[in-house]
Amino acid sequence: MNKLIFAIILILLLGCAAAQQQTTPNLTELATLTETFTGNELVVGIENAYNVGGYQADISYDASSLRFVEISFGNFLGRGSVETFKVSPKTDVPGLIKAVAEARTGNKPGVNGNGTLFTAKFEKISVANGWAKITYFKVVDTKGKEIQVEMKQQPIKGENPQVVPYVGSDLIIMVAIAIVAIIGAWLLMSRNGKQ
């Protein structure tokens, strides 16, 4: 009986691993979101991108030393003389810029490579050094499917730069299934051992 339970667990784990390999690319092949803040501009770009059809971002900034001026969209999504649909962000809450978004229009392939997505421009309103950074970001392909990216964030006030890998929900689900299978098998073996 123990061998049967072990075999079932092994099959479940191998199935989870195989499914994960098919749905999640290797982290070394992910596109990277970059941000650079120069004191009055936050430049947001993408590197190693594949089939990008659109994106959406939220930005937080130090409202005590900066005033938001405007978003200037880059030329990355417009490559190949494609028109893009741009969304004006919500800026009614000081310190937060919500829903900076742009998408390719028409039935065109997505964009590959590196480029600037947008620049958020600010005006200094105090002598203090302000900060601005991406707090939410989503990239999609031309069919609206989310593309996994890692975010390379700039240091703020002496912090070390971070690279934050995106962990897709598929991975989380597969790990949860594996944990439930292991606990279930352990409970079955414990119960069988007491009989």
Task: List, in sequence order, the alpha helices (H) in 60-168.
Answer: none
Tokens matching residue 81: 């003389």
Q: pTM for the whole thing?
A: 0.66
Q: Edge-to-edge strand order for the sheet containing 84-87?
A: 84-87, 96-104, 54-61, 132-140, 146-147
Our CA angle for 23, 77, 142, nearest 5°, is: 40
pLDDT in tens, 19-64: 444 334 343 458 999 999 998 999 999 999 999 999 999 999 999 9
- Write out the H or E segment, with its range, that includes residue 139: strand 132-140
Task: List, in sequence order, the alpha helices (H) in 105-163.
Answer: none
Domains of the chain, each with CATH number or no CATH: 2-24+172-180+189-194 (no CATH), 29-166 (2.60.40.680)
Residues recorded for the chain = 195
pLDDT in tens, 58-83: 999 999 999 999 999 999 999 999 99
Question: Rg of the chain over CA atoms, in angstroms?
Answer: 23
Q: What is the 3-state secondary structure (H, E, C) of 44-59?
A: EEEEEEEEECEEEEEE
